[in-house]
């Protein structure tokens, strides 16, 4: 059974930093690209970042470019999102999602981890 | 960036009714359009891939159609458990984008 379990979401002050993690199981992690997608409270889905199977290619939404860094450790079956210079508008539930290939559909999603940016 | 516009934003429907949700892309995306269902306090769930391809385990009342810029999600004989928000998503080009969502309320 495929499982994606996010962690690391907390309340952080504006300008602060945070690292989210996503632990994957039930599939060959290093065969697939992975994404972060976020959802602000009461709002729709917003794509955040994509990383290729080997970590060699990364892409970001303009809203987070230069502030967020996606990475992965295939030896630990884990995906990460380093979030710096956090803003109030980054407040959201952050999901990790498994891609069926590179830039395909998302066949599995985690349950999300909540990041709140507030003073 | 490809913009996806869904309609309607909200619909109140009765059980057994047929529901149609549309998703229009700002440029042609071929068949690289996927649909997800998100129930309250749950993660999104894949319903339809590549515009019209069914997903194992998804009830057959859900179907999709379209190509290019205009796409449709159809729910035949709506059930109470279909109360949710539905999103379209394009994977034709970076960045991936989502429609704004269509919330279905069951009367």
Chain B residues with CB inside 8 Å of A107's CB? 46
Report whether A57 contacts A45 (CB < 8 A): no
How large is the average pLDDT for residues B2-24?
97
Identify the band that residue A13 occupies on the pLDDT scale cut at 50, 70 and 90. very high
For residue A4, the model assigns a pLDDT of 98
The structure tokens listed for A38 are 């976020």
Q: How many residues make up chain B in this entry?
A: 107
Chain A residues with CB inside 8 Å of B38's CB? 45
Produce one character per residue of A24-55: b if its CB has 16 or more CB atoms within 10 Å, e if not.
beebebeebbbbbbbbeeeeebbbbbbbbbeb
For residue B19, the model assigns a pLDDT of 97
What are B7's strand-pairing partners? B22
For residue A119, the model assigns a pLDDT of 94
State the virtual CA torsion across B73, B26, B100, B32 in degrees, nearest 10.
Answer: 50
How large is the average pLDDT for residues B58-80?
97
For residue B46, the model assigns a pLDDT of 98
For residue A39, the model assigns a pLDDT of 98
Distance from C-alpha of B84 to C-alpha of B9, rounded to nearest angstrom: 12
Distance from C-alpha of B73 to C-alpha of B21, rounded to nearest angstrom: 5
Among A45, A100, A110, beta carbon nearest to B87: A45
How large is the average pLDDT for residues A63-76?
98
For residue A64, the model assigns a pLDDT of 98
Give the whole-number percent of chain B exceeding pLDDT 70: 100
Identify the band that residue B103 occupies on the pLDDT scale cut at 50, 70 and 90. very high
């Amino acid at each position: 059974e495929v499982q994606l379990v996010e962690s690391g979401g907390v309340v952080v002050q504006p300008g602060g930093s945070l690292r989210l993690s996503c632990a994957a199981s039930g599939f060959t992690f290093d065969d697939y690209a992975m994404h972060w997608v976020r959802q602000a409270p009461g709002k729709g889905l917003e794509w955040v970042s994509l990383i290729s199977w080997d970590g060699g290619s990364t892409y970001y939404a303009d809203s987070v470019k230069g502030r967020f860094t996606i990475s992965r450790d295939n030896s630990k079956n884990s995906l990460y999102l380093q979030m710096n210079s956090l803003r109030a508008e980054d407040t959201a539930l952050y999901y990790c999602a498994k891609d069926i290939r590179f830039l395909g559909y998302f066949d599995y999603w985690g349950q999300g981890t909540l990041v709140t940016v507030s003073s | 960036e490809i913009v996806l516009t869904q309609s309607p934003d909200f619909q109140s429907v009765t059980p057994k009714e047929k529901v149609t949700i549309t998703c229009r892309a700002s440029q042609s995306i071929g068949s690289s359009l996927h649909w997800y269902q998100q129930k309250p306090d749950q993660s999104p769930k894949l319903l339809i891939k590549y515009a019209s391809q069914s997903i194992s385990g998804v009830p057959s009342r859900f179907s999709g159609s379209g190509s290019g810029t205009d796409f449709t999600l159809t729910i035949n004989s709506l059930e109470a458990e279909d109360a949710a928000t539905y999103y379209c998503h394009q994977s034709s080009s970076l960045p991936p984008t989502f429609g704004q969502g269509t919330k279905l309320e069951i009367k």
